Structure 1
Amino acid sequence: MTQTYQLFIDGQYCDPAGGEWFDTINPYTGETWAQIPRGGADDVDRAVKAAKRALENGPWATMSASARGKLMRRLGDLVAANAEWLAETEVRDNGKLLAEMAGQVRYHPEWWYYFGGLADKIEGSVIPVDKPDLLTYTTQEPVGVVAALTAWNSPLLFIAWKCAPAIAAGCTVVIKPSEYTSASTLEFMELTKQAGFPDGVFNVVTGFGAETGARLVEHPDVAKITFTGSDTTGRAVYQSAAKGLKRVSLELGGKSPNIVFDDADLDAAAAGVVSGIFAATGQTCIAGSRLLVQNSIRDRLVDKLVAMGRTAVIGNPMLPDVNIGPVTTPPQYKKIMDYIDVARAEGARCVLGGQRACGPDLDRGLFVEPTIFVDVTNDMRIAQEEVFGPVLSVIGFDDEADAVRIGNDVIYGLAAGVWTRDIGRAVRMTKALKAGMVWVNTYRAVSYMVPFGGIKSSGLGRESGLQAIDEFLETKSVWISTSDTPPANPFIQR
């Protein structure tokens, strides 16, 4: 049975102004399972006005920081209580494994607990200014209405990353989820109502980028944009936001190196490489899509990876024994297959996969075999451009300096992995690699306590950790004269 969703604006579910909906497809079955409202400029305007009204005039505007924190912790409890239902909704929408989505949603409340605890610890400072008879201090105030644009691979996780620090800072939000995976975001809004958030604090406008996303970014009453997606779209968001001098955070793509030295535990490294590229069907910005392996162990490690890849179970993402689910969207499936063709044309040799995955349980979905290319050089497109799928490029290196040179030779700088038993080398590598995050002898670990984000074309700003809340605050300096007499000369600067 097809479910019909509504927008969420000013605390209420409502139909889109244009009266149109569009299909959302289950990537595993290829069938329509829900109707998503097609929002437009009028809906964006209504949502932003509601958010601004809540920010400036409603109960949210006068609520204490401690009270905000209590609401956030209550929301975390509600997510925890409804984790399985929310995870199943995400799997129907994006096709990722239930095991992965359930783990993400069960972990999701930690962001509300963590930032809820920070809400009443946002402090200014008294400055011992060098001018007599003046009291000077700073305060931290919410930046304003926040536009949160989330990607299709982990919608609820991105809501936590973006909205928890924004709400803790006292902002209000308008969320625009991907048109491919909007259902779980709309379901989540019911929990914000149950938690007791005032109307207008959370709003969701679904639809297409040109009709809703662009209008939201351009809206004059939006003060801050936080976006997760491709670097191409991120640049367009950045350019549009610059016209209004808006604050921007961008979490964009990656072409992350997973670097294995010849002293590494090869079994652990092989598991880490598989996790880095085949987990989530490779549809993750931190995918370790470039395996840099020391030439002396290259063949041994590739053999292990091929053997592990052949054991991967491809199929229904709802089943606990399945390792790889479908690609989420038809355009992404085509992109992955096109890159596989490009890799072959450039001279890379495919030693695993490289085809559409077929079988009696796979015919209706968008399945790609886990794929490994060897004989890759770092100047090939397959080594330089983000595929966002289960496609690994293997590149050999000779020594530490060679690994650093190749690892940094991309436009991206999101993440990197290093596998070595040499602690000195580990420290040197973490310093030399140009990336926002470096894992040593592990991969793809995240926490609400640790900043997440990249450099270069991988984005701006950080999500999670103490730094994240600063992205949603403005500093105000206050000067108070304690003198009973006016200045001697009012025509000069004090």
Structure 2
Amino acid sequence: MNGALLIGGDKVTTSSGGTYEHLFAGTGRPNATITIAGAAEMDAAVRSAAEAQREWVSFPVDRRRDVLLDLADAVRDHQAELSELNTHDYAVPISMAGNSVLTERFLRYYAGYADKAHGLSTPVSGGFDVNLVEREPYGVIGVIAPWNGALVPVGLAVAPALAAGNAVVLKPSELAPLAALRFGELCLEVGLPAGLVNVVTAGAEGGDALVRHPGIGKIHFTGGGGTARTILRAATDNLTPVVTELGGKNALLVFDDANLDGAAMLAAFQGPLGQAGQSCACASRIIVHHEVYDAFLEKFVAVVQSAPIGDPFDPQVMFGPVVTQGAADRILGVIDEAVDRKMGRLVTGGSRLGGDLADGYFIEPTVFADVDNASPLAAIETFGPVVSVLRATDEDDAVRIANDTTYGLNAFIQTNDLTRAHRVARRLESGSVWVNTFSDIQPQGPYGGYKQSGTGRAGGVEGLHEFLRIKNVRIGMG
């Protein structure tokens, strides 16, 4: 498999950053040798992007639109290949690896905005002077993608950045770069200028060089809060603006009028099962009205325990491994500490899987009941297949528990009462609220967090404006 860097239209296999041996999480065996970018390669990528961006903005806007539509078509036509690469990247089950569909939707949506980055004209006090407010691209955008699905920020960040007239240096994680590298090849195949989208896999050193580079106009980062703080500190060297999409300790509220069968299925997938809980959108705190607590818990655990576990390339499998041995050790440590300190009642799971799966990084989907929201189990993002079930006495109590967190990315409501759905949604301190549905991100809706879950938005016109800066032009009419 291709592990080369993509800089200025060329594949680069020799780098100052060396190489990384990628292990497939399903087996623990070597999967690919990945070239790692160092400072020199990042500099080359940014310079190449700056040159390509000047060519890109010289295109008529309808040509830019059409090329982006061609890119959306290419992503659609290569969906099976990209899904397979996602599974190679981080062992997400092939049945759930189709996030290139999201990428295609965002590319197609923002292609239509290529000629719609409207400014405006306003009256001013200077008689008949003309006052123009224009929107212009930043130039080169650095997009730092997480390992758990690099094609998602390709849709959420790369698509609007290109539509706004920018070039992109995309840095996927060394843990999962293969799908992103193939996307970069597709950009060239459909006719984007060489260097407009550079894909440079890197670790901390390369990432630091990207953030500190004076040729970067803006950084878009998706990942954890600790890394975000490091990036924000590094970006102060050049006062580079940074937009972040960070983690969450997302609450799913189940009220006494909810469809419990549907709620249990949604909570299981949105909680420990989807991507083995390795998602910023994971519903890791499930808050249940006391009158239906026991009935819901029984149904929920039954769904969790019935999930097919195994080879991520088996289309029948729903639940796969965590990304690395280090991640497995960390998550098992969280479980052991929760048991030892009696943070909740372990209902199911809690162990590493053996047998035919022993060489992979498989951890049983794990559910703790009767969890105290003040405990580390409920307060700290685990990023693994571990969820807490909490009891609420009434609606006010459920909202209080849900908001009692430093995060605010997603919240979920299960109710058949439309009035309650509106009322509770407005009370929840969360950038997105999903009522009786999964976190199905669509390009028409701005997505992003409150509090320590990030700044800025992806999707909608708000997502386009993240990659445009404002210029005021005043023309004196004397």
Q: TM-score range by the shorter chain?
A: over 0.9
Match of 1:344 in 2: 339
Deviation at 1:130, TM superposition (A): 2.3
Select which of 234, 237, 241 maps to 1:243.
237
Match of 1:49 among 24, 29, 47: 47
**In structure 1, what is the Cα distance between the partners aligned to 2:310 and 2:15?**
39
**Which AA in structure 2 matches 1:15?**
T
Q: Which residue of 1 aligns with 2:290?
A: 295
Listed one character per residue, the Cα deviations across residues 109-137 of structure 1 (whole Å, up to 9, x for unaligned) are 11111000111011111112221141111
Secondary structure, counterpart of 1:8 in structure 2: strand
Gaps (5+ residues) in structure 2? none
Q: Distance in 2 between matches of 1:38 and 1:320?
A: 32
Structure 1, 17-26 or 469-478: larger mean CA deviation: 17-26
What per-residue deviation string (whole Å, max 9, x for no partner) do you get for residues 386-438 of structure 1? Answer: 01111110110101111111100110000101111222211111011100000
User: Secondary structure of 1:118's partner?
Assistant: coil
Q: What stretches of structure 1 move > 4 A for 4+ residues in a row?
A: none
Q: Distance in 2 between matches of 1:184 and 1:235?
A: 27
Q: Which range moved further: 432-441 or 241-250?
A: 241-250
- Listed as ranges, the gaps of 5+ residues in structure 1 are 484-494
8 Å contact kept, 1:147–1:173: yes
Q: Does 1:449 align with 2:447?
A: no
Q: 1:194 deviation in Å?
A: 0.8
Contact in 1 for aligned 2:3/2:177 (Cα 8 Å): no
Contact 1:145 1:174 in 2 (8 A): yes
Cα deviation, residue 472, structure 1: 0.5
The CA deviation string for residues 23-46 of structure 1, in whole angstroms up to 9 with x for no partner, is 111111211111110210000111
Secondary structure at the residue paired with 2:112? helix
Q: 1:309: Cα distance to partner?
A: 1.6
Q: Per the alignment, in what secondary structure is the counterpart of residue 156 of structure 2?
A: helix
Residue 133 of structure 2 aligns to which amino acid in structure 1? T
**How many Å separate the matches in 2 of 1:101 and 1:452?**
21
> How many Å separate the matches in 2 of 1:233 and 1:156?
20
Q: Distance in 2 between matches of 1:222 and 1:240?
A: 12
CA contact (8 A) 1:65 1:168 kept: no
Q: For 2:257, what is the secondary structure of its paired residue? A: coil
What's the offset of the Cα at 1:346? Answer: 2.5
Aligned to 2:227, what secondary structure does the other structure show? helix
| Cα distance in 1, alignment partners of residues 48 and 155 from structure 2 | 21
TM-score for the superposition, normalised by structure 2:
0.97
State the partner residue of 2:352. Answer: 356
Q: Name the counterpart of 1:119.
A: 114
For the pair 1:183 / 2:178, whether they are aligned, the reply is yes
**Of 101, 107, 123, which residue of structure 1 is paired with 2:97?**
101
| Distance in 2 (alpha carbons) for counterparts of 1:69 and 1:44 | 28
**Aligned residue identity for 1:247:** P
In 1, Cα distance between equivalents of 2:364 and 2:268: 13
Counterpart amino acid of 1:364?
D
Shift of 1:345: 2.1
Matches within 5 A, 1:353-392: 353-360=349-356, 362-392=357-387
Partner secondary structure for residue 320 of structure 1: coil
Q: Is the Cα–Cα contact under 8 Å of residues 15 and 35 in structure 2 kept in the other structure?
A: no
Match of 1:128 among 123, 136, 140: 123
Larger radius of gyration: 1
| 1:84 aligns with one of 80, 84, 90 | 80
What residue number does 2:398 align with?
A: 403
Amino acid at match of 1:225: I
Residue 69 of structure 2 aligns to which amino acid in structure 1? R
Whole-angstrom distance in 2 between the partners of 1:443 and 1:107:
14
Distance 1:204 1:441 in 2: 37
Alpha-carbon distance in structure 1 between the residues aligned to 2:12 and 2:430:
43
CA positional deviation for 1:242: 2.8
Conservation of the 8 A alpha-carbon contact between 2:121 and 2:133: yes
Identify the residue that residue 16 of structure 2 maps to in structure 1: 18
Instruction: Note the C-alpha offset of 1:196.
Output: 0.3
Contact 1:450–1:464 (Cα < 8 Å) also in 2: yes
Query: Which residues in structure 2 correspond to 1:279-318 (within 5 Å)?
Result: 279-318=274-313
Q: Are 2:35 and 1:37 equivalent residues in the alignment?
A: yes
Q: Hey, what's the Cα distance between the residues in 2 that align with 1:107 and 1:435?
A: 22
Q: Is the 8 A contact 2:110 2:163 kept in 1?
A: yes
> 1:260 — aligned with what?
254
2:189: which partner in 1?
194
The answer to whether the 8 Å contact 1:16/1:43 transfers is no
- C-alpha contact 2:410 2:431 (8 A) present in aligned 1: yes
Q: Which string of whole-angstrom CA distances, capped at 9 and with x for unpartnered residues, describes residues 252-275 of structure 1? A: 010000010111111111111111
Could you say what secondary structure the match of 1:173 adopts?
strand
2-side partners of 1:330 and 1:454: how far apart?
30
Q: 1:351-397: per-residue Cα shift (whole Å, max 9, x none)?
A: 1011112232x122100101110121011101000011111101101
Q: Give the paired residue count.
A: 476
Q: Say if 2:309 and 2:317, in contact at 8 Å, map to a contact too.
A: yes
Question: Aligned equivalents of 1:363 and 1:334: distance in 2?
Answer: 14
Question: Would you say the 8 A contact 1:451–1:465 is kept in 2?
Answer: yes
Where 2:231 maps in the other structure, the secondary structure is helix
State yes or no: 1:479 paired with 2:474. yes
Match in the other structure for 1:151:
146
Pairwise CA distance, 1:450: 1.1
* Match for residue 71 of structure 1 among 64, 67, 70: 67
Using a 3 Å threshold, how does the CA distance of structure 1 residues 4 and 421 change in structure 2: closer, same or farther? Answer: closer
Note if contact 1:342-1:381 (Cα within 8 Å) is conserved in structure 2.
no
Which residue is 1:490 aligned to? Answer: none
> Residue 292 of structure 2 aligns to which amino acid in structure 1?
I
CA contact (8 A) 1:44 1:216 kept: yes
| Among 200, 204, 207, the residue aligned to 2:202 | 207
Matched residue SS, 1:18: coil
Aligned to 1:222, the other structure's residue is in SS state coil
For 1:193 and 1:140, the matched residues in 2 are separated by 27
Percent identity between matched residues is 38
Deviates more, 1:220-229 or 1:16-25: 16-25
Structure 1 position 19, deviation (Å):
7.3
**Structure 1 position 417 matched with structure 2 position 406:** no
Q: Secondary structure at the match of 2:113?
A: helix
The code of the aligned residue for 2:96 comes to E
Could you tell me how far 1:243 is from its partner in structure 2? 3.1
Q: In structure 1, the residue corresponding to 2:372 is in which secondary structure?
A: coil
